[in-house]
Amino acid sequence: MLTLISRNRNFLLIVVVGFLVYFFIFHNLTRFPAPWFDEGSHLHVPKTLVKYGVYADVSSEGFRYYGPTIGVGPTVMLPIAAMFKLFGIGLLQARLVMALYLLAAIYVFHQLVEHLANKLVAWIALVLILSSRSVSLLEYGRQVLGEVPGFFFLVLGLYLWLSKWNENSVRRLVVVGALFGLAMITKYQYLLFLAPTLILAWILDIFYYKTSAHRNFLIPGIVAAGSFGVWQTINLLYLGPATAADNLALLRASAEGAAFNFNLTQLGANVETLSSRSVYLEALLPALIYGLFISVPRTGSGQKFSILFLLVAFNLVWYVVFSIGWIRYAFLGLVLSSIFIARFFYDLTHGFQFDWGSGIFRSFFEAKNAARFALTLWLLAIVLAPLAKTIADIAFPGPNHARLMADYLNLNVPTSALIETWEPEMGFLTDHNYHYPPNALLAVAIDHINYGGEPVKNHYDFVQSENPDYLLAGEFSKWTEIYPLAALQNSYELVQRIGEYDLYRRSK
């Protein structure tokens, strides 16, 4: 009888876990979140690779070898291209690759935290990153973006490194370094945090912790740097020196506007964002202070937590001081902060243990129990409200306007017609002849929108000079105000509006 109950319980557990995995990772995969600018531009690369055999973006004038090719690395582009080759080009095929990355990242993250603390802390940290609207793990992980795949490689490297601390063979350290390198290749932004973390962790070991051999830091650092350098060399040899120079110029211009921009007003806004209720319900700062506290002991455990703390600190300091303030730029710091938040609540409640010796009602009012009860309620509030919103978003996504507009174009617009747009997702969803503004204009648009710089439309007159057959204005085009729609009314007429997408046809 007990065996039967145990078997049924295990079966029920498998069913529940399977349902949760399906719902959070795969349900409505092509509808939540809706395709948008960044994802659309990244999808161009594997589509172009499969259709033309060229690792590049494409516009009506030809291939563009820079832009999306440096936004996300080949660790994402090539598996998606393989899926397209095997099963055809489609959003579902691409997002299935991302869903598998997401599932792998969740599993490895849980394993890392369980090694650092215990199972309960690992589950708390996991629930925190799945529910948090500031981390947006499920939203980013379902899209063709670099954050979650890069996080997977980084966390796998950390797990292999920290789980055998001071017992790592040279081969294992090489694998750790290669994984760190893949994280940086996947998402260039991770280079900003991994490189200084490895260097400072080594220095702290020499002068403070004094628990590890030099090779424990040098081999992963050297291999990571070498891996990143190999990919840059491949870019240089494949694309050619002139295009590589264009790549660097574009990267520099984009970084100056969004990633390396010191502005006192923006700095204050960034601090306010991180300390707001939307970021772990204001638990971030006390948890980080606690994270520093548990990183101080000169032990293996303290040193491991110090490495995570350095990664968090470098990311969040950069986000506050130099970034444009998009919360996505704090992804790595916020997702790793969940470990310190979980430890904070677990340790301060003594593992959520309550003393009910005085009876359930009276025990609530005893100081020890009251404090632990309040902390538990705080943690539940951090998790439950945003999780409910995410569940609703996945279960009931909005209308798929991008798909509807793509269907309209396929039925009513010849593929030979030239369509001007700054909505690259449409170039993935249909095979029409699109022309896109140059990627370099992104930096101009960001400067205009966030800092009152010159309007981007003053730098671009393709519609007026080339008179394309159609103009498709969507959310991104309207946000950047790249097209002077009011001034174009004499030349273009609105023929279809679907959600945020407006399709204009040249009338004369």
Sheet-wide strand order for 470-473: 433-435, 418-421, 470-473, 501-506, 492-498
Amino acid letter for position 415: T
The distance in angstroms from the start CA to the end CA of the chain is 82
The pLDDT of residue 397: 95
Q: 40 lies in a domain? A: no
Burial string for 132-141 (b: 16+ CB within 10 Å, else e) reads bbbbbbbbbb
Mark whether 457 and 481 lie in a shared domain: yes
The pLDDT of residue 236: 74
Q: 57 lies in a domain? A: no
Angstrom distance (rounded) from CA 90 to CA 82: 12
Structural domain boundaries enclosing 365: 352-396
Q: 43 lies in a domain? A: no
Peptide bond into 241 cis (omega under 30): no
Amino acid letter for position 260: F
Q: 36 lies in a domain? A: no
Three-state SS string across 458-471, please?
A: HHCCHHHHHCCCEE
Mark whether 271 and 322 lie in a shared domain: yes
Angstrom distance (rounded) from CA 84 to CA 91: 10
Count of domains observed in the chain? 4
Mark whether 372 and 497 lie in a shared domain: no
Q: Is the Cβ–Cβ distance between 505 and 406 less than 8 Å?
A: no
The C-alpha angle with vertex 414 and arms to 408 and 420, in degrees rounded to 5, equals 80
Mark whether 110 and 237 lie in a shared domain: yes
Q: What is residue 23's DSSP assignment?
A: I
Q: 48 lies in a domain? A: no
Mark whether 251 and 179 lie in a shared domain: yes
The pLDDT of residue 354: 74
In order of 24, 233, 274, 421, 427, the CA distances from 326 in angstroms are 24, 31, 11, 24, 25
Q: List average pLDDT for each run of 10 residues in the chain, which is 508 residues long.
A: 62 89 97 95 96 93 84 95 97 98 98 97 98 96 97 98 94 98 95 96 96 94 96 78 66 58 80 94 96 96 97 96 92 98 96 69 64 92 96 95 97 96 97 94 87 90 94 96 89 96 92
Mark whether 376 and 436 lie in a shared domain: no
Mark whether 379 and 317 lie in a shared domain: no
Helix (H, G, I), strand (E, B) or coil at 213: coil
Q: 37 lies in a domain? A: no
Q: Is the Cβ–Cβ distance between 303 and 296 less than 8 Å?
A: no
* pTM of the complete model: 0.94
The pLDDT of residue 479: 94
Helix (H, G, I), strand (E, B) or coil at 349: coil
Q: 314 lies in a domain? A: yes
Q: What is residue 35's DSSP assignment?
A: P
Q: What is residue 34's DSSP assignment?
A: P
In order of 126, 275, 346, 358, 371, the CA distances from 375 in angstroms are 18, 18, 9, 20, 6
Helix (H, G, I), strand (E, B) or coil at 332: helix
Angstrom distance (rounded) from CA 79 to CA 77: 6
Mark whether 13 and 151 lie in a shared domain: no
Helix (H, G, I), strand (E, B) or coil at 21: helix
The pLDDT of residue 448: 87
Give φ, ψ of 472 to 5 degrees.
Answer: -110, 110
Query: Residue 207 burial by CB count (10 A; 0-12/13-18/19+): exposed, middle or buried?
Result: exposed
The pLDDT of residue 369: 79
Mark whether 24 and 97 lie in a shared domain: no
- Adjacent-strand bridge partners of 487: none
Q: 173 lies in a domain? A: yes
Helix (H, G, I), strand (E, B) or coil at 212: coil
